[in-house]
Amino acid sequence: MTKEIDIRDVGTYLKALHCSVRWDIIEILRNGPKSSEVIFNLLTKEVNTTKEQNDQECEGICLRGKGRDIQKPTLYYHLRELEAVKIIESTLKKKKGAPEKVWKLNIEKLTINLK
């Protein structure tokens, strides 16, 4: 989906996109929907699998750069900020035990109308 925004709305999106963690989340979700737990693991590199399994799961994203020192409440804050401007959206996936949130990109392209 392409989202067109008016110049008056740019500040809202800049606030939502000002943080590099949020850009990393967007990059992770470019390859398809991911659960909160998978996003957390990819951001912190806590995936306890082989390099081949990591490459298959995240297409190399988790192997770039340094891992982040991020806590789960902080991750949820960033996810909610991106969700508030509808850049990403979540659905509940039922699994054994508690339901799990799965996140996906809601916008493929963001266009700013300057006039």
Q: Please indicate, yes or no, if residue 87 is contained in any of the structural domains.
A: yes
pLDDT at 8: 86
Instruction: Identify whether 115 is part of a domain.
Output: no
- In this predicted model, what pLDDT tens digit does every residue of 2-36 receive, in sequence order? 888 888 888 898 899 988 899 999 999 999 999 99
Evaluate whether residue 114 is within a structural domain. no
Buried b / exposed e over 10-45, threshold 16 CB at 10 Å, is: eeebeebbeeebbebbeebbeeeebebebbbbbbbe
Query: Is 77 inside any structural domain?
Result: yes
Residue 51 has pLDDT above 80, yes or no: no
Q: Give the separation between CA 41 and CA 22, rounded to whole angstroms.
A: 15
Number of domains composing the chain: 1
Provide φ and ψ at 97, rounded to 5°: 85, -140
pLDDT digits (tens, 9 = 90+) for 61-112: 444 444 567 889 999 999 999 999 999 999 998 877 788 899 999 988 888 8
Q: Is residue 18 part of a domain?
A: yes
* Structural domain includes residue 21: yes
User: In this structure, is residue 72 part of a structural domain?
Assistant: yes
- pLDDT score at 45: 74
The domain in which residue 19 lies consists of 2-109
